[in-house]
Structure 1
Amino acid sequence: MDQERLYTLLTREIANELTPAEAEELQQLLQQYPHASYIREVFTKPWQETSYGSTPEQLQQMQARHLQRLQAATSSAATITDDVTTTTPVRRLWWRVAGVAASIALIAFTGWKLLYHPATQPLPLEKLVTSKGTRSQLLLPDGSHVWLNAGSKLNYPPTFAAGQPRMVELEGEAFFEIATDVNRPFRVKTKSFTILVLGTSFNVRAYPEEDSAVTSLVNGAVEVQLDQVGQQKVLLRPNEKLTVPAGLFANPDDARLHENETGKLQIPIYKQQLTQVKDSIVSETAWVKNKLAFKHLELEKVTALLEQWYGVEIGFHNEEKKRLYFTGMFETDSLDEVLDALTSTGSFTYTKDTRGKIWIE
């Protein structure tokens, strides 16, 4: 509604009808909508200069030309002549000029409103959320397939615009199989990086509570953009993964980062091969096949996987146990069966409290 009020006040200003209170209100609205200042200048200054800066002879000439246009547009010349031949021709001419200016200004502001405030607002994003202990699948509007892991959230549009990049936002973990569309590259945005894709399959793990984010490429090719402006990118090839500090986009002043002599951020990144656990099972994407797999992984990170997989809470009474390493693959096993398999190594034990929380001893 502020925009409609702005149009009204600007029209009144052009017609020289503003009250002092309205002039103050107009200045406040122009600060809120700065794009209007330019149009205001264009459509007020010339008319004011024409009306107030012209000589009486020039004004009479303008009036005569205006009368000719009116007479050509109507069959009642006498009525028109009576209307305009008054004792104050200069004042009536100003009001006619102001009326024309007001009409032009209204047209201009209608265009401005459509340009900067289109009537058709972008459709709200769809949202897919999975709680801990659950996983879900989704077919995107372009035919791309997404598997969403436990405790994750994916924001995506109800439809992808023609000729525009396909953009989704991820918090958590997801596996993507992207439908190829060279005219609409695919983008996955997280708080740590943006992944630029044409057509491929890859995994992204970017949970907000974890200290790192990982992109794992199965096939195709992706670029991982590590800064907001797109100057620093890392190309991944099949069977490679990239690990970066979590929250790079959300925390650009992170103390772990510093600029080199070229002014670019030095980001601690790690490019590695995907981890083969057994046969064709890769730990980074095993969850898509409902397999819980890890290889030479710290117990602290293993318990994080178990919390997401089974929807439980696990803590440590003995902090030293966090640095134990384990390898395993489980498919239909219950949580107790997994924990019993891990404790069979004799390296730790566990208990449950009255709330059901598991404690590593």
Structure 2
Amino acid sequence: MNQEKLYALLAREMAGTLTAEEATDLQQLLQQYPDAGYIREVFAQNWAPAGKQYTGLQVQLLLEKHRQRMQEMPDTVRETIVPVRRSMWKLYSGIAASILLLTVGGYWFYSGRQQAPAPQAQLVTEKRMRTQVLLPDGSRVWLNAGSKLDYPKQFAAHAAREVTLEGEAFFVIKADAERPFRVHTQAFHVRVLGTSFNVRAYPQEDSAETSLVQGAVEVVLNNAENQVISLKPNEKITIPVHPVVAESHATTAPVVIYKSKLIPVQDSIIPETAWVQNKLAFKHLELEKVVVMLEQWYGVEIGFKDDSKRDLYFSGVFETESIEQVLDALETTMSFTWHKDAAGKIWIK
């Protein structure tokens, strides 16, 4: 249908997306349907540059402005332009309105498809829970207790693969040079092409860390994007989450980043990744931080009645032991005692 093609080409012309070949076709059709040229001229007086986004109210006002223009024109002028247009105005004004709405609506649809974020999925683990998920690109993620992972249900074809982590996760990433993989946390971003690494970034902890098992990653601080730290296999970095404010100046002191080697606590068991094998492991770690791990691992509540015990250091590997057995094992060092109250809360003194 030539008329349908004509109106489609007029809409593309108004949107500024007409090709040279389509422009030639439009000129031929305007010669065939001269009344359409009148609509084209009326709208050209008020049409904004291509790419402008309209609200529904703006569209309504624009159409009303055209109707007002026609009502305000003297009868002699309207009759001089073309005698038959008075009877045809309702038809052509409807067509013109359709062209405008189709063009603006098409822009909304196109820009919406371009800008709307991909549908998201979320994986959450409570205390005592550990799980794993296969991402849409074939990468696999193990999620530790008390953690949350947000990721798209489908990664874009030609864009970075991005996920957001709160808590702890171990990643085995499928290599894809065209689509780098990025993990966002409250303290830093991890950039990687293909590798396996661990990220720990619990919101209640005062530091976050990334441990690299194999491959290569870059860590970018959230508050210092120009500061990039590269990791080699068997290395990890620890970053304070809440930088200390210098007393003499009203500015934030530089973030101190600790880089260290991954050291097995027993045989080949690495504390940072032992949880993936369903093992609870820690090496020369303050009891205060060990307690946090125990709370997440066993879903219990532990408090200190003697704060001096918080700074005691412990190493250990546990797999099938109960919380009572773990505490009994640590208590054998004779550095603290523990008991459980009537409410079930554990106290260390």
Q: TM-score, normalised to structure 1's length?
A: 0.71
C-alpha offsets along residues 161-181 of structure 1, whole Å, 9 cap, x if unaligned? 111111111100000000111
CA distance 1:319–1:238, change in 2 (3 Å): same
CA distance, structure 1, for counterparts of residue 165 and residue 212 of structure 2? 16
Is 1:195 the counterpart of 2:181? The answer is no
Offset, 1:85:
8.3
**Would you say 1:241 and 2:239 are equivalent positions?**
no
Q: Do the aligned partners of 2:245 and 2:252 also contact (CA within 8 Å) in 1?
A: no
SS in 2 for 1:278: coil
Q: Does 1:143 align with 2:138?
A: yes
Q: Are 2:110 and 1:110 equivalent residues in the alignment?
A: no
Partner of 1:288: 276
Q: Is the 8 A contact 2:220 2:228 kept in 1?
A: yes
1:276 is matched with 264
Aligned to 1:183: 178
Unpaired runs of 5+ residues, structure 1, are 18-46, 68-80, 87-91, 248-253
Q: CA deviation at 1:141?
A: 1.1
What is the rounded CA distance, in whole Å, between the counterparts of 1:128 and 1:228 in structure 2?
Answer: 27
Q: Does 1:8 align with 2:60?
A: yes
Partners in 1 of 2:233 and 2:345 — Cα distance?
Answer: 39
1:360 and 2:335 are equivalent in the alignment? no
Q: Which amino acid aligns with 1:321?
A: K
Q: Which residue of 2 aligns with 1:342?
A: 330
1:125 equivalent to 2:120? Answer yes
Residue 306 (structure 1) aligned with residue 301 (structure 2): no
Deviation at 1:60, TM superposition (A): 9.5
Quick one: distance in 2 between partners of 1:334 and 1:288?
A: 18
**Partners of 1:141 and 1:159 within 8 A in 2:** yes
Shift of 1:137: 1.2
Percent sequence identity over matched residues? 52
Deviations 1:130-186 (A, max 9, x none): 111111111111111111101111111111111111111110000000011111111
Distance 1:9 1:150, change over 3 A: same
User: Does structure 1 conserve the Cα–Cα contact (< 8 Å) formed by 2:244 and 2:252?
Assistant: no
Classify 1:264/1:180 alpha carbon distance in 2 versus 1 (closer, same or farther; 3 Å): farther
Aligned counterpart, 1:332: 320
* Contact 2:244 2:253 (C-alpha < 8 Å) held by counterparts: no
Deviation at 1:275, TM superposition (A): 2.6
Cα shift at 1:120: 9.7
Equivalent in 148, 156, 159 of residue 154 of structure 2: 159
8 Å contact from structure 2 (residues 201, 208) kept in 1: yes
- Provide Cα deviations, 1:61-118, integer angstroms capped at 9, x if missing partner: 9x3xxx5xxxxxxxxxxxxx5x2489xxxxx99x999888756543442243124334
- For 1:182 and 1:257, locate their aligned partners in 2 and report how far apart those are by CA, in whole Å: 42
Instruction: Tell me if the contact between 1:147 and 1:288 (Cα under 8 Å) persists in the aligned partners.
Output: yes
When the two structures are aligned, how many residues end up with a matched partner?
A: 291
More displaced 10-residue stretch of structure 1: 101-110 or 219-228: 101-110
TM-score normalized by the length of structure 2: 0.74
* Letter in structure 2 aligned against 1:279: D
State the partner residue of 1:315: 303
Which deviates more from structure 2 when the two are superposed, residues 350-359 or residues 266-275?
266-275
CA RMSD of aligned residues (A): 3.4
